[in-house]
Amino acid sequence: MGSSENEPCSVEELNVKGSAPAKTTAWVLSAAEPPGLWRELISSTRETVFPSKNKSSLSIEKQPSWKRVIMILKGLFPILRWGQEYTTQQFKSDLMAGLTLASLSIPQSIGYASLARLDPQYGLYTSVVPPMIYAVMGSSREIAIGPVAVVSLLLSSMIQKTVDPFVDPIAYRKLVFTATFFAGTFQAAFGMFRLGFLVDFLSHAAIVGFMGGAAIVIGLQQLKGLLGISYFPTKTDVISVLEAVWTSLHRPWNPYNFLLGCSFLIFLLITRFLGRRNKKLFWLPAIAPLVSVILSTLLVVVTKADKHGVKIVQHVKGGVNRSSVQQLQFTGPFVGEAAKIGLISAIIALTEAIAVGQSFASAKGYHLDGNKEMVAMGFMNIAGSISSCYMATGSFSRTAVNVSAGCQTAVSNIVMSITVIIALELLTKLLYFTPIAILASIILSSLPGLIDIKEAHSIWKVDKLDFLTCVGAFFGVLFASVEIGLLVAVVISFARILLNSIRPRTEVLGRIQGTDNFCSIRQYPIAVKTPDLLITRIDSAFLFFINANFIRERITRWVKQEQEETKEGPEQGIHSVIIDMSNVRNIDISGILALEELHKNLVSHGLQLAIANPGWQVIHKLKLAKFVNKIGEGLFFLTVDEAVNACLGSKKDSMMC
């Protein structure tokens, strides 16, 4: 019996008569079952805890128990690996780097504590315990741990909306420690369960905008100390701060704070400039803050400037870190708020620390494991929260100083911590007369590095939507609040992801003449359409409920356009539709139903559907849903070229019938 010209060939005819080898079709359809969700979770957790295996070593399961314990300990505590090869020369380098780092960290930590609305000693405490924990558990050799400006501002701006630090400083401090504990818990969980992708929700563009806006807000906040203003708003937006400054300037105020602060600010900026111009003078901007604190304190003592309106730090509690376990609050009305603040702070702190660590690691030629870094950061903040520390992370400015000073390993963090302990024991009484304006100038001098205009311009040139995210974060922080700026950045990023998911790019493919390559005819005008066929490609990792109908409708529209362009006769129209699914990694029920509907529509018009190179999860689910049986096993191919040859062969055979 003959068949009509447009009737698709059967599966048997295609396998026998077509040019696509049945062997490759069998490869596509007989792929092993992909690993389940539970197996993938166990495997990823094991990779985080255990060190990577090389081909020459036995698997962990085959190792003796004591060796397995040692391997686990070395995976959790990298210091046990590199500590075996640690040399005296390395220690000399780390000693000098740690001392240089401490000269910068001590004044900065005091200043950042004031930015976090805490007493000065808590900034110093945060430069003791977290760096020591990180030195044992962290994998970065260069990163310097301690309080940073952005996280200090983030904590104070969010927590003071719940508890006023001036009305109830004890309750405020308890909430800071609790938020730090939650932040550490979230960070450790992200690393243990390989959830580092959560940090990626804040794109590079969002971080650039957020950091720039936060730097300006931090700078405006320092006007309180620089001008000696007593009243200052709890809001961090630029309008509220400028209103407070304008009001204060119209009242009697003491210019000595401003003159003292600006003088040392100029000194700090000059040393920073000289250090950047001449790499050999790296130590100059590193010790300049400590020199400023010493000189300004002596100046106040000699001139008795505190009697003439210059505001001073006054009491700084000495001694090493005290236990704060009793101050953690896991019951009461503010637990949920502390957890929310901890989550946001954890993500921001991790984003900054991993960016800093990876940039210096790549420069040194080694790889940094982001998940292990998260575990280390989490445990150091958990330990910090029970030892009177607030949120700590990696600092770019201090890390740069650490590298310039010649650090070799994380021992420089330990040296810095010990130096800070000595300062807490012996030098806190000398800080009584330190002017607050000096602390403000130290923070102001460190802010220019946070405003990256060059990078923002580069983002604008490369991707306008990315720049929109950057600008949204910048103005959100500047004119609303820190958390609003973050929310704006995340919303814009999610909107972009959603738009790309709802309307993924789909392409019509053509053959590059003389090759077996099929490429987008929009991207490569030299690509030529194959007569009688419509070849398409789905450029989306997922074919699921949110985009399935859009893809189905677009392919259907292309089929209609092809048929309208060839009205001379059915023999001139397309015979088959080939979908290249090499980019599709997964599919859901909605995606399968969309393919079934597309197949029925094509069959009703005398066309056949062929699938090329479906992903592992995709072919597995198509087999479970019986879709493979519905369209025929012979219509699944390993490559687009095989699908084209088979469909062209079936067209010739049907015309000969």
Q: What is the CATH number of the domain that holds 649?
A: 3.30.750.24
Determine the residue type at 353. Answer: A
The answer to whether 538 touches 584, Cβ cutoff 8 Å, is yes
Q: Are 514 and 476 in a shared domain? A: no
Q: Are 575 and 625 in a shared domain? A: yes
Residue 572: the pLDDT is 60
Alpha-carbon distance of 175 to 336, in angstroms, equals 11
Q: Are 23 and 55 in a shared domain? A: no
Element (H, E) at 69: helix 65-76
**Angle at the Cα of 211 from the Cα atoms of 382 and 448, rounded to 5 degrees:** 115
User: Is 531 contained in some domain?
Assistant: yes
Whether the CA torsion 202, 117, 220, 161 is positive or negative: it is: positive
Q: Are 487 and 574 in a shared domain? A: no
Q: Which residues of 118-148 are buried (b: 16+ CB within 10 A; e: fewer)?
A: bbbbbbbbbbbbbbbbbbbbbbbbbbbbbbb
Domain count, the chain: 3
The answer to whether 420 touches 124, Cβ cutoff 8 Å, is yes
CB atoms within 10 A of CB 149: 26
Low-confidence residues of the chain: pLDDT under 70: 1-23, 37, 40-41, 43-63, 566-572, 650-657
Helix (H, G, I), strand (E, B) or coil at 76: helix
Q: Are 191 and 298 in a shared domain? A: yes
Determine the residue type at 340. Answer: K
Helix (H, G, I), strand (E, B) or coil at 303: helix
Q: Are 409 and 308 in a shared domain? A: yes
Enter the pTM of the model: 0.78
Q: Are 162 and 282 in a shared domain? A: yes
Burial class (CB in 10 A: 0-12, 13-18, 19+), 605: middle
What token pair was written down for 574? 């397309």
The answer to whether 228 touches 258, Cβ cutoff 8 Å, is yes
Alpha-carbon distance of 156 to 153, in angstroms, equals 5
Residue 571: the pLDDT is 54
User: Is 534 contained in some domain?
Assistant: yes
Q: What are phi and psi of 539, to 5 degrees?
A: -95, 60
User: Is 535 contained in some domain?
Assistant: yes
Residue 25: the pLDDT is 78
Residue 5: the pLDDT is 42
The answer to whether 404 touches 262, Cβ cutoff 8 Å, is no
The answer to whether 387 touches 181, Cβ cutoff 8 Å, is no
Alpha-carbon distance of 657 to 655, in angstroms, equals 5
User: Is 6 contained in some domain?
Assistant: no
Residue 654: the pLDDT is 53
Name the H helices within 431-580: 436-445, 453-462, 464-479, 482-502, 548-565
Give CA 330 to chain center in angstroms.
28
What Å distances lie between residue 549 and 83, 487, 601, 606, CA to CA?
58, 30, 13, 22
Alpha-carbon distance of 346 to 357, in angstroms, equals 16
Q: Are 59 and 106 in a shared domain? A: no
Alpha-carbon distance of 150 to 651, in angstroms, equals 66
List, in order, residues 6 or more apart from 517 with CB less than 8 Å away: 511
User: Is 2 contained in some domain?
Assistant: no
User: Is 318 contained in some domain?
Assistant: yes
Q: Are 100 and 112 in a shared domain? A: yes
Residue 653: the pLDDT is 54
Q: Are 215 and 333 in a shared domain? A: yes
Strands 586-587 and 576-580: unpaired
Whether the CA torsion 450, 452, 455, 461 is positive or negative: it is: positive
Residue 449: the pLDDT is 83
**Angle at the Cα of 112 from the Cα atoms of 106 and 226, rounded to 5 degrees:** 100
The answer to whether 268 touches 441, Cβ cutoff 8 Å, is yes
User: Is 170 contained in some domain?
Assistant: yes
The answer to whether 69 touches 49, Cβ cutoff 8 Å, is no
Residue 51: the pLDDT is 45
Residue 96: the pLDDT is 95
Q: Are 312 and 395 in a shared domain? A: yes
Q: Are 260 and 364 in a shared domain? A: yes
- Expressed as residue numbers, the domain containing 517 is 11-34+504-656
User: Is 3 contained in some domain?
Assistant: no
